[in-house]
Amino acid sequence: MVIKIFTGTSAFLFFLLALLLPAARLKADDGHGLWLRNNKTNPVIISCSDKSATAMLAIEELKDGWMGKAGAKMLLIVKFDQSIKGDGYILKPQSIQAATPVGLLYGAFDYLRRQKVGEDLHVTSNPSYQRRILNHWDNLNGTIERGYAGSSIFWRNEKQAPTVTEADRKLWREYARANASVGINGAVLNNVNASPIILSDDYLNKVKEVADVLRPYGMRVYLSVNFASPMVLGKLATADPLAPGVINWWKDKANEIYKAIPDFGGFLVKANSEGQPGPQDYKRTHVDGANMLADVLQPHGGIVMWRAFVYSASDKDRAKQAYEEFMPFDGRFRDNVIIQVKNGPIDFQPREPFSPLFGAMKKTSVMPEFQITKEYLGENIHLVYLGTLWEEALKSDTYQQGKGSTVARCTDGSLYPQQYTAIAGVANIGLDANWCGSNFDQANWYAYGRLAWDNQLTATQIADEWVKLTFSPDQTTAGDSKWQNGFLKPVTAMMMKSREAMVNYEMPLGLHHIFAADRHYGPGPWYAPKKVRVDWTPPYYHKAGADGIGFDRTSKGTAAVNQYQQTVADEFDNLKTCPEKYLLWFHHLPWTYQVASGRTLWDEICYRYQDGLQSVKEFQKTWDSLRPFVDEQRFEEVQSKLQRQYHDAQVYKDGCLLYFQTFSKMPFPPGCEKPIYTLDYLESIDPFTMEKFPASNGGQ
Ligand code: GCW
């Protein structure tokens, strides 16, 4: 009888209901809670001798998020121990010990995370870098350069002096809490393309307000400064770093800042780069500029983060320029100057080899700069987890002090003595309810913080933690095998594959910078308007022609390989040993060249684009099957973004393959689907809007 009832339509309805029920139980979620969700908690008894505001926050977090036994006792101690470094901590099942109150707060967050994901509660954990900083490219009018999550959380377009509301303070507190939960302890509040106005009294007043909110969470504020500030703001005739009037102007400014913000972190400077003013405008050097600022900050304990992102249009190879400009100055910077170096030699591409400056500057502090906001990796639309990209960058072996001289070790003080160690990530945060413009982009903020704290963590472990903390409907199910197999495994697998998928459908095998115009979103291998400087056009990078494709940076080409340590230089220089992922970064090869798979280069390129596109199709299928595990709001957001990603990956594949085919003149191999679009059409549209390309467009 029972069986009979559940046949036909009713069986189908029952099945449907079973599918929908769990989803219906999950409340709509706008993602604002990030990875910090306290679902079912228990009471806990905490004793702590420290009475600082920061220690109080640690207590509050433990009380709000406790998932251990009800009525358990915890002891929080601020006391130095040989095994603790900086703001590190020692966890034991019934205690957290740190040398500083903020160490207690980090320990509390780690303790709760371990409770939730089911990790060992015996651990000593110390930070890899002293300064773990977010760079906000926020403009004072509230817009964000390369920001895809709404307007700035710090600035808005205001006619008069900038204002601060209670709502601002609340949001900044939430922001600081999220950062502290992963160990981020600093924020540069404004764009590296800096307005001098940030140093005006009105703006400094607001900076102080932000600093006051961030302080209890262990975060310091920093500012990007415009090198010409003494002229624009101080009305001086020059900004020459050796001019006494200029030096005095900066000294006064530093005194003023530290009076209001005693723990102010320091300055970030983009000088003589992409049109920004700098010491070279006065025939001075980066050393003159950086050291002058370092000297005015030094009495206050401040640092200067001087960016190595410099290049000029006239050079044959942009990839070589930062090294050429900075290496001659090795050893000449003050101790409180850190050279901030992007992970790759060009510019946050989906894949680049590591910058040759890492490990090469042996007498100068160097810090890595990563980009969390996905300027070149699909903005807030494409699901791309960056943990894998950063792990690859940090683990790259420079060989500068023998095998094992990874980028991580060259920058965290383990290989070179550095008074300060630091790491920067260009933030992806804005006013959007979910902070990052998409739920999966939150994973990148999280992963950056976790790697800044511990640069030996793996992307896999971080993805696993993040998914558990962010999506587990009831944290106890982090250990539930149905949830683990049904949701955790497929989602982490998708995340782990996502960056490689993008590399494949955008620019495989070492290809780079083949974006249409300044938006840096869709394909534009053909894009080369006369008015745009050549190093802002894709043909400069891919060099496709009848003879083949790729940038010859070998010893016979631009010799960029020689900027690496000999072992690495030889590896990249030699076609037989050059890793395939960097093939066309370093080599220009004929279309018929045979790659490792046995295919011709042309066939391999086609195969990669196809494979990348196919991966996105699989991500869609995976996500579609996960509806029962996710609330509707987040489910639909991710689903619709994946649909768009698939569409845009197709545009990428078709655009690049059709264009390259005009040179290779070879057919698409079996397995590579025929394009949907035509080259003429794709060349005529803006690949972001899919509408006719506007007549005027910029560069970079
Ligand atoms: O990647 C380029 C970006 C610019 C950015 C610049 C930089 C802030 O396209 O928008 O400017 O790098 O890092 O300075």
State whether the beta carbon of 342 lies less than 6 angstroms from ligand 1.
no
Q: Is 370 in the pocket of ligand 1 (CB under 6 A)?
A: no
| Tokens linked to 535 | 């190093």
Q: What percent of the chain has pLDDT over 90?
A: 90
Distances (CA, A) of 453 to 103, 246, 374, 447, 449: 12, 37, 21, 10, 6
What is the distance in A from the centroid of ligand 1 to the CA of 15? 52
Which residues 6+ apart lie within 8 Å of 29 measured at CB? 631, 633, 634
Per-residue pLDDT tens for 216-275?
Answer: 999 999 999 999 999 999 999 999 999 999 999 999 999 999 999 999 999 999 999 999
Say yes or no: CB of residue 347 within 6 Å of ligand 1: yes
Reported as a pLDDT band with limits 50, 70 and 90, residue 697 is low
Residue 315: pLDDT band by 50, 70, 90 thresholds?
confident
In the residue annotation, 274 being an active-site residue is answered as yes
Predicted pLDDT at 595: 98
DSSP code at position 579 = -
Kindly name the residue from 158, 274, 624, 636 that is annotated as catalytic: 274
Give the contacts of 673 (CB within 8 A, at least 6 positions apart). Answer: 610
Could you identify the residue written with the tokens 């090198």?
Answer: 227
Q: Given a cut of 60, is residue 7 above it in pLDDT? A: no
- Is residue 368 exposed (0-12), middle (13-18) or buried (19+ Cβ within 10 Å)? buried
Ligand 1 center from residue 133 Cα (angstroms):
17
Helix (H) or strand (E) holding 617: helix 601-624
Bridge pairing between strands 266-269 and 337-342: unpaired
Which atom of ligand 1 is nearest the CA belonging to 137?
8
335 flagged as catalytic: no
Give the single-character DSSP code of 553. Answer: -
Structure confidence by residue, pLDDT tens digits, 641-663: 999 999 999 999 999 999 999 99
Q: What is the CA 560 to chain-centroid distance, rounded? A: 25
Q: Is 145 a catalytic residue?
A: no
Long-range (24+ apart) CB contacts under 8 A made by 57-62 are 57/105, 57/177, 57/180, 57/216, 57/217, 58/96, 58/101, 58/104, 58/105, 58/107, 58/108, 59/108, 61/105, 61/108, 61/109, 61/112, 62/108, 62/111, 62/112
Q: Report d(CA 458, CA 279) in Å as an integer.
A: 40
Kindly give the number of the ligand 1 atom that is closest to the alpha carbon of 342. Answer: 13
Q: Which atom of ligand 1 is nearest to the CA of 369?
A: 13
Give the pLDDT mean for 109-114: 97
Residue whose CA is at the smallest distance from ligand 1 atom 13:
309
**Residue 121 CB neighbour total at 10 angstroms:** 15
In this predicted structure, what is the pLDDT of residue 699? 43
* Closest ligand 1 atom number to CA of residue 426: 13
State whether the beta carbon of 137 lies less than 6 angstroms from ligand 1: yes
Q: Decide: 145 in ligand 1 pocket, CB within 6 A.
A: yes
pLDDT tier, 664 (very low <50, low <70, confident <90, very high otherwise): very high
Does 11 have pLDDT greater than 80? no
Report pTM. 0.95
Yes or no: say if 350 and 506 are a contact pair by the CB < 8 Å rule. Answer: yes
**Residue 10 pLDDT exceeds 70:** no
